[in-house]
Amino acid sequence: MIVTCLRRRGSLLVLALLIMTPGLAPGVLAADISKAQLERIGATVEAAENRLDATSSKRRKARQALEKAERQLAATHKRLDDLADRQREIESSLRTLNTQRASLEQERSDQREGLARQLAGLYRLGRDPRMKLLLNQQDPAQAARFQHYLNALNKARQARLDALASLNLDLARNEHQLNEQQASLDTTRATLTRQQATLDGQRREREQAVATLNAEYGSRQSRLAALKREQTQAEKTFNAMQEQLARARKTTGTGELTAEEASAEAPAQPSRVVRAGKATTGKWPIAGARMLSAYGKGEGVHRNGVLLGARAGTTVRAMVAGQVVFANWMRGFGYLVIVADRNNVLTLYAHNQRINVTTGDQVEKGAALATVGDSGGLSQPALYFEVRSKGNPVDPGRWLSRH
């Protein structure tokens, strides 16, 4: 549940929400907030969740089962992605080693051919060229040239022999590395197969959890009523949180802190910066988006934004630069990422398969935040995208066209 998430995140979540008034550089907090104030804000969120959960113990258990299943799925997706990255690294290493081996073998072949030519030259000089040199003293200049040629030939032959010995060692090391990398690749592929089987089982558990949860509503009218309650409560939760944060910032800014609150102050930690690299954003946070429900047309929490269909695993990119103020599972939204820009405008990215950022991260526009999924009980992969300015939802399409 969201309460558990917020308890674990503690000060970091709410402190992050107090980022950047207009004119401040990204990542700079307007004012530190005491732990006592943070606890009061957290209590407001907890009370809101408890009011929703009080309707039905069976429904609460069904939601908890759904959250557990989706958390397990996200963890497995991360392991699969990590394993896939590892597999690509190993395959790249194998290609490099094979290319290196081909080059070494060609070089060894060239050295062998050169050595054969040198040996042929020595053969033409006779069985004992040095004795031939000693006996031929009639022309000292010619003898000197012959001695120089003989020394150069022997030196070149020894160099080729040394090069061949070194190449043989390099080829032996190359073969050992190839065998190690191939064994690692085989292990990685076997682990991928096992994790895929685990993922399939967890998907079935999630489907069962969704079916159980839907069955608890009894009828579509009951379901719509529950969605309406979730929307209303989400609005109240966001508004109450922002109001308390505003009061806390004002109190801190004027120095009206008790001794206990002052001692509870926690310094802000340096933020990780998630770069966009060469990535760019299109009209929406995901490529190939299909409009499933427009602004103001969706049901429940989806009414305040747009629901965009896409392939599972599609990269979700930040539409604005700012700071991640929430990155976890939340009721009604599944895996949710919230980014606040320097003007305190919040952009929400919900129902993700897995999240790539953590609370407190600074992100560039276009940075990869998550991947598209169906968490939160969706029946198909989709991204819910919402923009909130001054505590109110705004049309994401119109807002993006102006920014």
Q: For the whole model, what pTM was predicted? A: 0.58
* One domain, residues 291 and 341: yes
Last residue of a domain, one of 182, 209, 236: 209
Task: Give the CATH number, domain containing residue 365.
Answer: 2.70.70.10
What whole-number distance in Å separates Cα of residue 43 and Cα of residue 237?
A: 11
Q: Taking Cα atoms as reference points, which of 336, 350, 73, 56 lies closest to residue 213?
A: 56
Cα 111 to Cα 86, 116, 160, 166, 170, distances in angstroms:
37, 9, 6, 11, 14
* One domain, residues 126 and 105: yes
Are the beta carbons of 92 and 84 closer than 8 angstroms? no
What whole-number distance in Å separates Cα of residue 38 and Cα of residue 17?
A: 11
* One domain, residues 197 and 271: no
385 — pLDDT class (breaks 50, 70, 90): very high
User: Does the residue 389 lie in any domain?
Assistant: yes
* One domain, residues 262 and 299: yes
The 3-state DSSP class for residue 390 equals coil
Q: What's the domain range around 20?
A: 7-56+216-401
User: Does the residue 64 lie in any domain?
Assistant: no
Angle, helices 2-9 vs 35-53, to 10°: value is 170
* One domain, residues 263 and 192: no
| Range in 18-32, 282-296, 334-348 the model is least confident about | 18-32
* One domain, residues 259 and 369: yes
31 CB-side CA count, 13 A: 19
pLDDT for position 197: 84
* One domain, residues 162 and 234: no
| Range in 119-123, 134-138, 157-161 the model is least confident about | 134-138
* One domain, residues 129 and 262: no
* One domain, residues 324 and 387: yes
User: Does the residue 154 lie in any domain?
Assistant: yes
The total number of structural domains in the chain stands at 2
The answer on pLDDT for 364 being more than 90 is yes
The full DSSP string for 290-307 is: EEEE-TTTSSGGGGGSEE
Contact partners, residue 63, CB within 8 Å, separation at least 6: 1, 53, 213, 331
User: Is 38 buried (19+), middle (13-18) or exposed (0-12) by CB count in 10 A?
Assistant: buried
User: Does the residue 245 lie in any domain?
Assistant: yes
User: Does the residue 304 lie in any domain?
Assistant: yes
User: Does the residue 233 lie in any domain?
Assistant: yes
* One domain, residues 158 and 136: yes
Are the beta carbons of 386 and 295 closer than 8 angstroms? no
pLDDT for position 141: 62
pLDDT for position 340: 82
Last residue of a domain, one of 156, 182, 209: 209
pLDDT digit string, tens, across residues 226-250 = 677 777 777 776 666 566 555 554 5
* One domain, residues 252 and 389: yes
Last residue of a domain, one of 209, 241, 259: 209
User: Does the residue 63 lie in any domain?
Assistant: no
User: Does the residue 74 lie in any domain?
Assistant: no
* One domain, residues 41 and 120: no
